[in-house]
Amino acid sequence: MNAPIDLVVRNARVATASDVFDADIGIAGGRIVALAQSLPKAEREIDAAGRVVTPGGVDAHCHLDQPMAPPVRMADDFDTGTRAAACGGTTTVIPFAAQEKGQSLRAAVEDYHRRAHGKAHVDYAFHLIVSDPTPHVLNEELPALIAQGYTSFKIYMTYDDLKLDDGQILDVLSVAREHGAMAMIHAENADCIEWLTKRLEAAGRTAPRFHAHARPMLVEREATHRAIALGQLVDVPILIVHVSGREAVEQIRWARGHGLQVFAETCPQYLFLTAADLGVDDSYQGARCVCSPPPRDKANQEVIWDGLSDGLFTLLSSDHAPFNYDAPEGKKPGGEEVAFRHIPNGIPGIETRLPLLYSEGVLSGRITLEKFVELTATNPAKAYGLHPRKGTIAIGADADLVIWEEREFVLRNDDLHHAVDYTPYAGMTLRAWPALTLAAGEVVWDGRAFHPRQGRGRFLACGRPTLRPPRRS
Ligand code: DUC
Ligand code: ZN
Ligand code: ZN
């Protein structure tokens, strides 16, 4: 017998990736069990009259409590990071269990479970970062971990402690092909970056803004093309993460036109920031916005917006990489204003991802509500084997829901729930914010207050990707 409905979200304007319709949502035991025009009264009722209700966001690219070389440390752990996620409407996060060179992948995963367990307020899965693809990792650990629900991994083409050479990338992609995993690729050419960085340093150009000069679009375009070629050689789908602008987009369109399965992710920083946010002259303030790839210019922002609406992008993630600005473990390592090469890369964005896209994408008419849901919830869940439990509003799905309130306000860092001392989006006028976030039927954010329950978040073993091949556009 079906469990009785214990909660009804009434009069919802339900948005999924394919439809927007009016319904009551019936919830039992943390799952959606009914969608109907008029459900009987339940013990608990939430009135969503006049409000859009979307699936809880799935942030498929964020970094939480990821081990860093001392003195650098991430500001958010699974407690504060998932708190911020929930308050911004995200109910599933997929951060990274990162292998250090010389470390077994299994040890990295076990360590990461210890960091997450009992702390997370929303559900979580793990991607792997493969930085040392030894024969044991390739032949034993990766296949076993994929079978156990770690079905995606990130490959870096840059960063000395993480990058793989082309032969290693081919080896890892072969494992993805054989076992049906999803390979995410950080595409920037490490040698070009190093060459440019040394020349900038020799010229005394070490202020934060030169980070963008050391990583021009060309280095991303070349690596994107190479990643596509390596994927083609192995004959495996790949997903290019944090695409920043036109030249990389062109490579992806080219690949799609040739029938290659290349998926693409972008992030809010490439819609809302430009290289000018890295500062002027020798000011250190711009360290706040140092991330890789760096933000580009207004024209590139437009290219990214177009890619969101026309199907080029598969998903939009935050790439939340939380470092305090004014801190010796953050953007000022050891308390110093350091040369750009030593500034920890990354910006916070786990809480602002959905409100930014809802405000400037949906309410400005750049994307439809259905596209918003597809990019922020449904496709991330499909890409990493969590759909249909996550990423949609359907019978049987987890009752992860966001009720939206459309109101104008100026964003301040004090409004946010991360443990970072800044947001790059402070001062922006937003036009929407979650009035309520439900995670498995529990209120985690009521529009004013966060409702903590550490350990509420469950580990999710991922299945294989279920994305359809991209259009040949
Ligand atoms: N770039 C990454 O690749 N990861 C974390 C943050 C960043 O800027
Ligand atoms: Zn990356
Ligand atoms: Zn990242």
pLDDT values of the chain reduced to their tens digit, one per residue, 473 residues: 467 999 999 999 999 999 999 999 999 999 999 999 999 999 999 999 989 999 999 999 999 999 999 999 999 999 999 999 999 999 999 999 999 999 999 999 999 999 999 999 999 999 999 999 999 999 999 999 999 999 999 999 999 999 999 999 999 999 999 999 999 999 999 999 999 999 999 999 999 999 999 999 999 999 999 999 999 999 999 999 999 999 999 999 999 999 999 999 999 999 999 999 999 888 999 999 999 999 999 999 999 999 999 999 999 999 999 999 999 999 999 999 999 999 999 999 999 999 999 999 999 999 999 999 999 999 999 999 999 999 999 999 999 999 999 999 999 999 999 999 999 999 999 999 999 999 999 999 999 999 999 889 999 999 999 999 998 76
Q: What is the pTM of this model?
A: 0.98
User: 159: CA distance to ligand 1 center in Å?
Assistant: 10
- Tell me the one-letter amino acid at 265: E
CA dihedral 409, 414, 418, 424 (to 10 degrees): 70
Contacts of 82 (CB under 8 A, 6+ apart): 64, 93, 119, 120, 121, 122, 124, 457
Give the per-residue pLDDT at 64: 98
Contact yes or no for 211/343 (Cβ under 8 A): yes
Give the per-residue pLDDT at 3: 76
Give the per-residue pLDDT at 201: 98
Q: Answer whether the bond into residue 71 is a cis peptide, omega within 30°.
A: yes
Does the domain at 57-383 match CATH 2.40.50.100? Answer given as: no
The closest-lying atom of ligand 1 relative to the alpha carbon of residue 241 is 3
Q: Which two tokens stand for residue 325?
A: 């600005």
User: Structural domain boundaries of the chain?
Assistant: 57-383
Proximal ligand: closest to the CA of 240: 2
Task: Evaluate: CB of 321 within 6 angstroms of ligand 1.
Answer: yes
Contact yes or no for 143/173 (Cβ under 8 A): no
Contact yes or no for 3/28 (Cβ under 8 A): yes
Q: Answer whether the bond into residue 388 is a cis peptide, omega within 30°.
A: yes
Task: Evaluate: CB of 63 within 6 angstroms of ligand 1.
Answer: yes
Taking alpha carbons only, the member of 372, 415, 410 closest to residue 391 is 372
Query: Locate tokens 């359809």: which residue?
Result: 468
User: 354: CA distance to ligand 3 center in Å?
Assistant: 17
Query: Locate tokens 């259905």: which residue?
Result: 370
Spatial separation of the C-alpha atoms in residues 49 and 403, rounded to whole Å: 10
Give the per-residue pLDDT at 1: 47
Q: Answer whether the bond into residue 293 is a cis peptide, omega within 30°.
A: yes
Phi and psi for 91 in degrees, rounded to 5? -115, 0
Give the per-residue pLDDT at 211: 98
Task: Evaluate: CB of 66 within 6 angstroms of ligand 1.
Answer: no
Contacts of 215 (CB under 8 A, 6+ apart): 188, 193, 196, 292, 293, 294
The closest-lying atom of ligand 1 relative to the alpha carbon of residue 345 is 8
Q: Which two tokens stand for residue 405?
A: 């309130």
The residue nearest atom 3 of ligand 1, judged by CA position, is 292
With the most atoms of ligand 1 within 8 angstroms of its CB, the residue from 186, 244, 277, 319 to mutate is 319
Q: Which two tokens stand for residue 78?
A: 């699974």
User: 204: CA distance to ligand 3 center in Å?
Assistant: 28
Distances (CA, A) of 339 to 200, 202, 203, 204, 284: 10, 12, 12, 9, 10
